[in-house]
Amino acid sequence: MGRGGSRAAPAAAAPPWHALPDEVWEHAFSFLPAASDRGAAAGACRSWLRAERRSRRRLSVANCYAASPQDAVERFPAVRAAEVKGKPHFADFGLVPHAWGAAAAPWVAAAADGWPLLEELSFKRMVVTDECLEMIAASFRNFQVLRLVSCEGFSTAGLAAIAAGCRNLRELDLQENEIEDCSIHWLSLFPESFTSLVTLNFSCLEGDVNINVLERLVTRCRNLKTLKLNNSIPLDKLASLLRKAPQIVELGTGKFSADYHPDLFAKLEAAFAGCKSLRRLSGAWDSVPDYLPAFYCVCEGLTSLNLSYATIRGPELIKFISRCKNLQLLWVMDLIEDHGLAAVASSCNKLQELRVFPSDPFDPAGQVSLTERGLVDVSASCPMLESVLYFCRRMTNEALITIAKNRPNFTCFRLCIIEPHTPDYITHQPLDAGFSAIVESCKGLTRFSVSGLLTDRVFKSIGAHADRLEMLSIAFAGNSDLGLHYILSGCKSLKKLEIRDCPFGDKPLLANAAKLETMRSLWMSSCSLTLGACRQLARKMPRLSVEVMNDSERACPLDSLTDESPVDKLYVYRTIAGPRSDTPSCVQIV
Amino acid sequence: MELELGLALPDPGPKAVGELGFLRLDGTKRGFGEAFGAEGKPTLPLFVRDNDDEDDGDHGDGSGAAHRETSNKRKRLVGWPPVKCAHRRTCGGGAAYVKVKMEGVPIGRKVDVSLHGSYDDLLRTLDRMFPPSADQQGAPAEDEAAGWRRHPYVVTYEDGEGDWLLVGDVPWEAFATSVKRLKILA
C-alpha cells in the first residue's frame, strides 16, 4: 500500500492495515461463509473479533445449553439465520428422559428481542410450543424459513399462526416432528395473495389437509420446488397436484398405495412425464409394484431416492432402482436384500450415500436375506460412496477388511449388527480386525458407529488412527476401562461421543477430564459409572455441565445418595452458561 | 429381571447357519460362553425376559403350559436397535404405539400397547409417565399393583369407531386391538 509507484506528489499516508475501519473487515469476512473460518478470523485480534461478530449472518448453536440465548444475541447482533439443536442424539431412540429440556421458547424470545430482522430459524430435537410459533409469526417481519426437525410440543394451531402471519415465507420444512392435530385447517390460512413458497414439507403430519386448499396453494406458488405430502393425500390427487406444479425438484409422495386402475396409472404416468426437473423422490410406498412403472420417466433424472418408509420388495423394486443411473443418495429398507444391492452396485455408479434400514428390527432371526454381501458389492462398485448406514444381522472381519480396502474415501461409516455382541459369523472372532481396518484405511472418517462383538482392541485402533473423527457411537462393546481410555486419550478431533451398555467405568473418565472440554458432549448410559466420579469430574472441570439421570421411578435428591451409587445415564457438555435451571426432577446437575 | 444367556433363535433354517454353527475344528460344539470369547460376561440379548409378567395373574386361559407360553412377553432393550419411532411404526414388528394425552399437560406421550399384557400393566406405565403431584397422593405406595386405583385420574380411550370410552370396561385383548388414543382426565 503506497509503496513504490510515482513519487510526483506526496499522497496522504494510507492507514496501516490493522487500523482499517470495521466496515472493510466486515466486507472481507462476508467472503468467508464457513463458520469455522469466521471463528478463526475472530481469534486473530480484537478488531477482527469485533468486526466478525458484528457482521456474522448465520449462527449455528449445536447445543442449546452451551450458551444462553441472551449471550448469543448480544455477541452476534446481525444474525439473519439461526440454527439451534437441543436433546442428545440418543433421544431419537427413547434413551433421554421425556421432560429433559431443550425448550425453544427462551431462544425465540431472545431472538424476537435482539434479531428483529431474522429470516431463518431452525430447531432440531427441541420442544417448540404453539406460543413459540405464534411469537415467530408476530416478531420477524421478513421471516422466510422455518425448519423443525425431530421437535415436539406444537400443534396445527401453531402452524396456522405461521401460515397467517409470515407474509414472506419461503420454506416450511417439517421433518419427523410430533405434531398434535387440532383439526385446524392451517393450510387455509395462507392468504390468497401469498405466493412465495419454495418448500412445503408436511410429511410428518398425521391428520388430513384440505386438498382443494392445497391445490390452490400449489397453483399460485409458481416457485415451489420442494413438496412433501403426508399420508392423507390419495394417488389421484397426487396426479393433479403434480400437473399444477410440473417445475418441482423434490417430491414426497406421502402414502403411495391404491388398488390398480389403468386410468389412474395413466394419469400418474402423464403427470410424472411433465415433471422434467424432478431430482429427489421419497414417500411411503406400500406394495404397489403395479404403479412403479409410472415413475420410469423420471428415474434417469433422479439423484436422490428415499424409500426408507416403503415396504415394496421384489423384482419391481430392483427394476425401478436399476433405471436410476444417476442416483447419488439411496435410502432403502432391507427388503431390497443382497441381490437388490448387487443390482444397485452395477447400475448406480454415482452413489455417494447408502442407508439400509431394518424392516423388522425386533425379529432376532430376520426373514430378509440382507447380509454383509450387499455392502461389499456396493462398496466395490461405487467409487464415490462415502457415507453408509447399514443394519444387518451378520458380518465378517473379511468383509469389513475388503470394504475398507475398496473404499478408503468413507467419511461416515455406521454399521449396526442388530443382535448385540454378534461375532464374525464364520470365524466366531470379535469384529475388532474389521472395524480397525475401516478406521486405518479411511483417513477422512468423521462419523463412525460400531457394533457386534468388540473388545478393547478396536478402541486402541480408533484412538490411534481416527484423527478426523468427530462423532463416535458405541454400544455393547469393549471389555474394560481401557476401551474408553483409548478413545478419550486419542481421537484428536472428537466432538461427540455416545456410549451405551459398555463396561466402562470411572477411571478413564477422570483420567481424561480435560479432553471433555475439547468436545461438545459425552453421553454414557448403562455403563459402570458411580456418582462419586461424576462429582469429582464436576469439581475438577467447572466449565462442564455434568448431568446425571436415573430412572424417574427412583428420583431421590442427589445429596442423599452416596459416592458409590451407580449412575444410569450421564450427559456431560461444555458450556459458558453455567448450570441450567430448567431440569426436570429426574435430571440432576452434579 | 432375568438375563437370558445367549441367543435363542427358534428355527435355524439354512440362512441362520452362521449364527448357530459354533463348531470346533474337531466337530464338537462349543458352549456359548466360549464361542463369544468374552471373559465369562453374559451376552445381552435383544430381548430381556421380564419375570413380572409370569407372575401376573391377569391371563384368560387356564392351563399352566399355555400360561407360560402367553406370558413369555419379552421386554425389548430400550432404544435398540437404534431406529427412530417413525420407522418402528411403519415396520410393524408388533409395536402398537398410541398417543397419550393428559388434561393440562402440553406435551403428549406415546405408549406401546403391545408391550403390555393387562390393564394393570398399562396403568402402571401411565402412572410412571404422569406421576401424580404431592397433594394428589393417597395412601402410601405399598401395593404397587393397586397403586393406580387410588389416583383421581380417569383414563379414557378412543376406539376404532372414534368413540371415547372408559378404560377397563372390555376384556384386555379387545381393548388392545381397538385402542387408537388415550386421554387422561385429571
DSSP for A115-134 reads: -TT--EEEEES-B--HHHHH
pLDDT score for A339: 96
What sign results for the dihedral spanned by CA atoms B55, B56, B57, B60? negative
By C-alpha distance, the chain A residue nearest B76 is: A362
State whether B93 and A284 contact (CB < 8 Å): no
- Residue A137 three-state SS: helix
Instruction: Give dist(CA B48, CA B5) in Å, integer.
Output: 10
pLDDT score for A250: 98
Report strand pairing: A145-149 vs A587-589. Answer: unpaired
For A90, the grid coordinates are: 440418543
- Across the interface, which of B38, B90, B128 has its CB nearest the CB of A309? B90
Decide: A142 and A168 in contact? Cβ < 8 Å.
Answer: yes
Decide: B7 and B45 in contact? Cβ < 8 Å.
Answer: yes
Per CB-CB distance under 8 Å, the chain B contacts of A393 are 19
Decide: A315 and A291 in contact? Cβ < 8 Å.
Answer: no
Decide: A83 and A122 in contact? Cβ < 8 Å.
Answer: yes
Domains of chain A, CATH where assigned: 394-504 (3.80.10.10), 506-589 (no CATH)
For A258, the grid coordinates are: 391404491
The owner of cell 478431533 is A493
State whether B44 and A501 contact (CB < 8 Å): yes
Decide: A298 and A281 in contact? Cβ < 8 Å.
Answer: yes
Which residues in chain A (357-386) have CB-CB distances under 8 A to chain B? 357-365, 369
**Mean pLDDT of the region B89-100:** 63
Per CB-CB distance under 8 Å, the chain B contacts of A131 are none
The answer on pLDDT for B143 being more than 90 is: no
CA Rg value for chain A? 26
Decide: A416 and A391 in contact? Cβ < 8 Å.
Answer: yes
What sign results for the dihedral spanned by CA atoms A554, A559, A560, A562? positive
Residue A272: partners with Cβ closer than 8 Å, 6 or more residues away: A242, A278, A294, A295, A297, A298
Q: What is the pLDDT along chain A (590 residues), one digit of tens a residue?
A: 445 445 555 556 776 776 788 888 888 888 887 888 888 888 888 888 888 888 899 999 999 999 999 999 999 999 999 999 999 999 999 899 888 999 999 999 999 999 999 999 999 999 999 999 999 999 999 999 999 999 999 999 999 999 999 999 999 999 999 998 887 899 999 999 999 999 999 999 988 899 999 999 999 999 999 999 998 898 889 999 999 999 999 999 977 878 888 999 999 999 999 999 999 999 877 757 888 999 999 999 999 999 998 888 878 899 999 999 999 999 999 999 999 999 999 999 999 999 999 998 888 777 899 999 999 999 999 999 999 999 999 999 999 999 999 999 999 999 999 999 999 999 999 999 999 999 999 999 999 999 999 999 999 999 999 999 999 999 999 999 999 999 999 999 999 999 999 999 999 999 999 999 999 999 999 999 999 999 999 999 999 999 999 765 556 677 788 999 999 999 999 999 999 999 988 899 99
pLDDT score for A555: 60
Per CB-CB distance under 8 Å, the chain B contacts of A418 are 46, 81
Residue type for B11, please?
D
Residue type for A567, please?
V
Residue to substitute from A89, A93, A175, interface B, most B β-carbons within 10 A? A93
pLDDT score for B16: 34
For A585, the grid coordinates are: 426432577
**Mean pLDDT of the region B72-90:** 69
pLDDT score for B111: 86
Decide: B182 and B156 in contact? Cβ < 8 Å.
Answer: yes
Instruction: Give dist(CA A296, CA A316) in Å, integer.
Output: 11
SS3 letters across A143-201? CCEEEEECCEEEEHHHHHHHHHHCCCCCEEEEECCEEECCCCCHHHHCCCCCCCCCEEE
State whether A422 and B19 contact (CB < 8 Å): yes
By C-alpha distance, the chain B residue nearest A414 is: B82
For B76, the grid coordinates are: 425389548
The answer on pLDDT for B163 being more than 90 is: no
Which class does domain B97-132+151-185 fall in?
A: alpha beta
State whether B108 and A180 contact (CB < 8 Å): yes
Residue type for A403, please?
I
Which residues in chain B (98-157) have CB-CB distances under 8 A to chain A? 101, 106-109, 128-129, 131
Per CB-CB distance under 8 Å, the chain A contacts of B94 are 362
- Across the interface, which of B41, B86, B94 has its CB nearest the CB of A362? B94
pLDDT score for B129: 81
The owner of cell 439421570 is A549
Give me the phi and psi of A74, to 5 degrees please.
Answer: -70, -40
- Chain B: closest CA distance from residue A158 (Å): 13
pLDDT score for B180: 86
The answer, for A129 touching chain B at a CB cutoff of 8 Å, is yes
Q: What are the domain boundaries of chain B?
A: 97-132+151-185
Secondary structure E strands in chain B: 47-49, 74-76, 97-102, 109-112, 154-158, 164-166, 181-185
The answer on pLDDT for B5 being more than 80 is: no
pLDDT score for A9: 56
ipTM of the complex: 0.88
Instruction: Give dist(CA B124, CA B143) in Å, integer.
Output: 12
Report strand pairing: A304-307 vs A280-285. Answer: parallel
Decide: A392 and A371 in contact? Cβ < 8 Å.
Answer: yes
The C-alpha torsion from A110 through A115 and A120 to A126, rounded to 10°, is -10
The C-alpha torsion from A561 through A563 and A568 to A569, rounded to 10°, is 100
Decide: A116 and A139 in contact? Cβ < 8 Å.
Answer: yes
- Across the interface, which of A95, A426, A553 has its CB nearest the CB of B18? A426
Residue A168: partners with Cβ closer than 8 Å, 6 or more residues away: A142, A143, A144, A196
- CA A211 from centroid of its chain's CA atoms: 30
Decide: A366 and B93 in contact? Cβ < 8 Å.
Answer: no
Q: What is the DSSP code (8-state) at residue B2?
A: B
Instruction: Give dist(CA A59, CA A37) in Å, integer.
Output: 13
Residue A276: C-alpha distances to residues A270, A297, A300, A477 (Å): 12, 9, 11, 49
Instruction: Give dist(CA A169, CA A189) in Å, integer.
Output: 13
Residue A55: partners with Cβ closer than 8 Å, 6 or more residues away: A25, A26, A29, A30, A78
The owner of cell 462393546 is A477
Identify the band that residue B85 occupies on the pLDDT scale cut at 50, 70 and 90. low
Give me the phi and psi of A434, to 5 degrees please.
Answer: -65, -50
State whether B81 and A418 contact (CB < 8 Å): yes
The answer on pLDDT for B1 being more than 50 is: no
